[in-house]
Amino acid sequence: MGSSSNADWEPPQGSWASSAARRRNMQAIRSRDTAPERLVRRLVHAQGLRYRVAARPLPDLRRTADMVFRPAKVAVFIDGCYWHGCPEHYVPPKTNSGYWSGKVARNMARDLDTNQRLSDAGWTVLRFWEHESPDDCALKIAATVSRLRDNRH
């Protein structure tokens, strides 16, 4: 190997990251236990509800919900504005836009597919944006879980 440093590193053409710094930054972004998720979970837990965290609602579907209430069949997703294409806050990237915009579009398509598969299996899907009020999210989750749990007994 030569004596080049990481500072001189350039990604190969078509690489998913536009620079080494961007790659490190994107890899550091959490996919679970984000601040909005933790806050909503704490509020829901304070209302006496128990749930599974980052669990698969359907064992044969390789997708996880942020919160799963199995007896009530409720799957909760708290979506990041950037990664899931929030209509209010998504801003297309200025660098390597083809890759990142395509990734967000695939995430959005996967979210719709997940919603449909869970709905077809009798689940209620609740999706919230990270910018929504955690209190409002927790209230809606609690109301939905309580209503569905009561209806199933």
**Cα gap 114→42, rounded to integer Å:** 25
The 10s digit of each residue's pLDDT in 54-65 is 999 999 999 999
Which pLDDT value is given to residue 43?
Answer: 98
Can you give the pLDDT at residue 17? 53
Predicted pLDDT at 59: 95
> Which of the pair, 141 or 33, is modelled with greater confidence?
141
pTM: 0.80
Name the burial class of residue 130, with classes exposed (0-12), middle (13-18) and buried (19+) by CB atoms within 10 angstroms of its CB. buried
CA distance 120 to 135: 29
Domains and CATH numbers, the chain: 38-152 (3.40.960.10)
pLDDT digits (tens, 9 = 90+) for 21-43: 655 655 555 567 899 999 999 99
Percentage of the chain modeled with pLDDT above 90: 69
